[in-house]
């Protein structure tokens, strides 16, 4: 942690730490602004970006008066002083007054901004897990080379980070990520294959953006998270497991070499992991979520993953193990297939079919440079796109 951040945490700080928030208008973005509003003594938003939602971004800009505002999509009504185009993500992430960048963009579109912030030695509070799936080696190496901190916002990874506090890598036996199981946890395979958009958008425990909500229904999200955990914590794939936990109260487990297991728990609110990513390794007082009441929870239950009904989990983990460009292909094919499902041009079952085909055809592409990974990403999108066009 930089001395800058540390000074702010003791609460005596005159100048709060500047935060750039990418994807400010989304589910994580708006949760992050609620956290920042409660923590005005410690943190101040200095840059905000959105993709297309000009009206929501303008309202946030009016409320928080950041010195930089950026909108990716062309929009005639956007104020002239706003940054525009995809470059605005990198501009916001490089803002000189931002010691911390919260990356809450959805998809591989967040990658360049993550890298730009890390190259400048900033802390990246990372919700944008796709960044690590596309280019995990490069992103973690960039962080190391520039002494920058990559702190996960994802609730499972935040849980693991909290359980690992003060421990050494050789003391860790296994990471166990929990998964809610999504809306189709108990459905038979045939019914899942024909699930509608409305069915898939009904997540049982979390309110999130539409892309990650579909990923939670296919369990692709858990595959992305296994890959994310591999890179964030440097743990090999054969020591990362997944267990279904429908209540989403235990956010993950760490099993240690002596057989002891730690779990982190709390009500399902992303405001907790967002705040922790800002203050890690310290904790600060906050009253953003309802008090924890174990009795009101009722039971906590656990189940095996039904891999046969949810092939995306196995496909994604296999891509992670393959390495090279395979995780980038998995991610890009999934992004494209989910977009098609949301647009009504692909069935739910079609998502895993398309992603499986893309991995079969493109999974061995080289992935040793950023350029190679971006080419694989584009090829995978095109692969899924052209198949859908052939059949419609």
> Which of ligand NDP, Mg ion, none has residue 53 at its interface (CB below 5 to 8 Å by kind)?
ligand NDP
Whole-angstrom distance between the N-terminal and C-terminal Cα of the chain? 52
Q: Compute the least distance from the CB of residue 12 to ligand NDP, in Å.
A: 32
Q: Which of residues 40-69 bind ligand NDP (CB under 6 A)?
A: 50-53
Q: Compute the least distance from the CB of residue 337 to ligand NDP, in Å.
A: 15
| 392: Cα separation from own chain's centroid | 32
> Which of Mg ion, ligand NDP, none has residue 311 at its interface (CB below 5 to 8 Å by kind)?
none
Q: Compute the least distance from the CB of residue 237 to ligand NDP, in Å.
A: 20
Query: Per rule CB under 5 A, is residue 228 in the interface with Mg ion?
Result: no
> Which of ligand NDP, Mg ion, none has residue 206 at its interface (CB below 5 to 8 Å by kind)?
ligand NDP
Q: Which of residues 133-162 bind Mg ion (CB under 5 A)?
A: 154-156
Query: Given candidates 20, 48, 127, 139, which one binds ligand NDP under the rule CB under 6 A?
Result: 127
Q: Which is nearer to ligand NDP, 48 or 365 (CB)?
A: 48
Only segment of 98-106, 137-145, 231-239, 364-372 that touches ligand NDP (CB under 6 A): 98-106
Q: Which is nearer to ligand NDP, 108 or 138 (CB)?
A: 108
Separation of alpha carbons 10 and 390, rounded Å: 60
Q: Compute the least distance from the CB of residue 169 to ligand NDP, in Å.
A: 25
Query: Per rule CB under 6 A, is residue 23 in the interface with ligand NDP?
Result: yes
Q: Compute the least distance from the CB of residue 251 to Mg ion, in Å.
A: 8
Q: Which is nearer to Mg ion, 44 or 223 (CB)?
A: 223
> Which of ligand NDP, Mg ion, none has residue 149 at its interface (CB below 5 to 8 Å by kind)?
none
Q: Which is it for the CA torsion 165, 166, 168, 174, positive or negative?
A: negative
Contacting positions for Mg ion (CB under 5 A): 154-156
């Amino acid at each position: 942690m930089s001395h800058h951040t540390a000074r702010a945490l003791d609460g005596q700080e005159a100048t709060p730490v500047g935060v750039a928030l990418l994807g400010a208008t989304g589910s994580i973005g708006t949760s992050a602004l609620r956290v920042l509003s409660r923590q005005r003594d410690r943190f101040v938003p200095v840059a905000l970006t959105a993709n297309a939602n000009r009206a929501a971004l303008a309202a946030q800009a009016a409320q928080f008066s950041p010195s930089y505002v950026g909108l990716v999509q062309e929009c005639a009504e956007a104020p002239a002083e706003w940054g525009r185009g995809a470059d605005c993500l990198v501009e916001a992430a490089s803002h000189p007054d931002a010691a911390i960048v919260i990356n809450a963009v959805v998809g591989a579109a967040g990658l360049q901004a993550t890298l730009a912030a890390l190259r400048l030695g900033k802390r990246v509070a990372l919700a944008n897990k796709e960044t690590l799936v596309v280019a995990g080696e490069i992103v973690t190496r960039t962080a190391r080379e520039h002494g920058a901190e990559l702190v996960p916002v994802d609730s499972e990874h935040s849980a693991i980070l909290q359980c690992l506090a003060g421990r050494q890598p050789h003391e860790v036996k296994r990471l166990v990520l929990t998964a809610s199981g999504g809306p189709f946890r108990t459905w038979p395979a045939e019914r899942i294959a024909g699930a509608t958009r409305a069915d898939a958008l009904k997540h049982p425990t979390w309110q999130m953006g539409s892309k990650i909500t579909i990923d939670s229904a296919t369990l692709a999200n858990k595959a992305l998270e296994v890959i994310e955990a591999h890179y964030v914590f440097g743990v090999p794939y054969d020591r990362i497991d997944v267990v279904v936990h429908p209540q989403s109260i235990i956010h993950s487990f760490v099993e240690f070499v002596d057989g002891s297991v730690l779990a982190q728990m709390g009500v399902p609110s992303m405001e907790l992991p967002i705040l922790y990513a800002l203050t890690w390794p310290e904790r600060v007082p906050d009253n953003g979520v309802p008090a924890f009441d174990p009795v009101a929870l009722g039971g906590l239950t656990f189940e095996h993953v039904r891999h046969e009904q949810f092939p995306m989990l196995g496909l994604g983990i296999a891509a992670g193990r393959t390495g090279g460009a395979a995780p980038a292909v998995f991610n890009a094919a999934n992004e494209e297939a989910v977009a098609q499902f949301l647009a009504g041009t692909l069935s739910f079952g079609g998502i895993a079919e398309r992603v499986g085909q893309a991995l079969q055809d493109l999974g061995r592409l080289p992935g040793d440079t950023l350029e190679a990974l971006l080419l694989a990403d584009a090829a995978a999108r095109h692969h899924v796109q052209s198949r859908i066009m052939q059949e419609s």
